[in-house]
Chains A and B, each alone.
Chain A
Amino acid sequence: MAEAMVTVENLRKTFGNVVAVDSISFKVHRGEILGLLGPNGAGKTTTMRILTCYIAPDSGTAKVAGADITDDPLEVKRHIGYLPENAPVYTEMSVKEYLRFMADVRGCKGSARKERIEWVVEHCGLQPKYLATIGTLSKGYRQRVGLAQAMIHDPDLLILDEPTSGLDPRQIIEIRDLIREIGKTKTVFLSTHIMQEVEAICSRSVIIHKGKLVADGKPDELRTAAAGASRVVARIKAPPEELRGELGRLQGAGEVSVEAAEGAAAGGAVWCDCRISFQKGMDPEEGGERIFALVRDRGWSLRRLQFERISMEDVFLQLTREGAA
């Protein structure tokens, strides 16, 4: 794997009696889009605030691009573009004024400043609202202004806290496309409580629950880890008893259930709804292929062949349930 952009070690932060982040450790590799997934109140925002040096951890360390968050916060901040939750922006300024201000604070000067502003305006689709006062913009546009601001200095690392929250479906798709686009050249670390988001844009995800890290891996890996077996659903016309036996003998098949849809005459072929679970770690499509081969060899009929995909939602619910126990 590529070198680490962010290294988090045993980070812990408490607010009064509440442990917001409880000794978590993980890495963000250069060039990946890492999703920090967890229910509301899991400690996502706290983690991001610690990495951006907005708050200090009680114990533990973190390094961003080699700089330590405690020893050299200014260097850390230089490497990061940060979009806090709800994209707070100075509402009385125009987009143009705001981006210029951000570029100036970041020390972009002259033609470099002009180029960077043009680049973010183009990539965030802000041309139509460039001269508008931010206070008059819709939530979607404000979010884009927040993203533009975070990218103004061409940072190595983008930290985005719930970048799509509060947006309508169309805006969500646009922002996700944008993040995916940015992720091709940059390292992105984003948080979300929406499972589909991780599946849609992240190359890897870290799941936290009640301040603790409960999983770390690619969405597929997590799914397999949490799901156990994968399952295939099929509707096959065959004699039920025979079908049950044959399916059970398929390579890798585990539990098999066959339900005849209509009253079956002895030995006659009827439509049957079948559910076949395959062994953990096996590609369900392979199972599908075997089922089809069986139907073809026996001259049966097949109407439906479906894979029950275990969603990230299930993974998430299962992991957070375990974490709570």
Chain B
Amino acid sequence: MRATWVIFKREFGAYFNSTIAYVFAIVFFLTVGGVYVLFMFREGKADMRLFFELLPWFFIWLVSGVSMRLWAEEKKVGTQEVLLTLPVTSLQAVMGKYLGALAFMLLCLALTFPFPLSLYLLGTPDWGPIIGGYLAAVLVLAMFLAIGAFFSSVTQNQIVAFILTALVLALLSLAGIPPVYSNIMAIQREVGEFVRWVAVTYHFGNIARGIVDSRDVIYALSLAAFFLYLNVAMVEGRR
């Protein structure tokens, strides 16, 4: 526990010394903010439904950009050898680094708090869907990041890690678009249903309406756990 906490602190701190992380955080904030201002205010409704529906698409870039260095950089520079010869287990190292990156991304998400605040100042928003939306956003970040951390551990090239992560996250998001899974369903029903189940947008759409279903929570957490397990296996696999 202590080792995980120490590694968490270092990892979290490293993002504040990383130019690339700042760039991705700022670009995320600017694009998400720009879209929010353009669409929300034009619709004139005091809710954030569209915002939460679009969020996974922004997360693809944010997560890929922030997670690519997680293990690839350690491998490239060789610090992984120092880290893993310390008296820590692979699981502690993986979790410490993962949680450190997650904390940084939650901070990026917190940058969007002015949006609901502005709704509160300008109208009377329904808080249920907004709180539900943020809860969902945290789950999606946790799941996306586990995927990003895993792909960062398969290569020492950060660009490769970025592309692989973005590709997989994009596929996971695209799979939930009706024409995609319904066409597959028409050919083979079970496959189509699986494609829809695995899609982040399918589960996330529910939550953005303010419905927090335990099945969606289990979906996100089990995928996160699965990829973290693969991450540990990759780190152990060096041996």
Contacts and interface: CB of A to CB of B under 8 A. Distances in A.
A271 interface: no
Interface residues of B, number: 23
Contact of B81 (A49, A92, A93): A49
A52 B85 contact: yes
Nearest to A103: B6
B77 A101 contact: no
Contacts of A82: 82, 85
A210 interface: no
A84 B81 contact: yes
A91 B87 contact: no
A105 B77 contact: no
Contacts of A85: 78
A54 B85 contact: yes
B77 A91 contact: yes
A302 interface: no
Contacts of B2: 104, 107
A53 interface: yes
Contacts of A88: 77-79, 81-82
Contacts of B77: 88, 90-91
Interface stretch (B10-18, B166-174, B189-197): B10-18
Contact of B78 (A74, A84, A101, A106): A84
B82 A106 contact: no
Contact of B10 (A56, A77, A90): A90
Nearest to A54: B85
Interface string A28-59: 00000000000000000000010011111000
B23 interface: no
A101 B82 contact: no
B85 A105 contact: no
Given A90-B10, A105-B3, A105-B7, A84 B82 contact: yes
Interface of A: 49, 52-56, 74-75, 77-78, 80, 82, 84-86, 88-93, 97, 101-102, 104-107, 149
Interface of B: 2-3, 6-7, 9-10, 13-14, 17-18, 77-79, 81-82, 84-89, 238-239
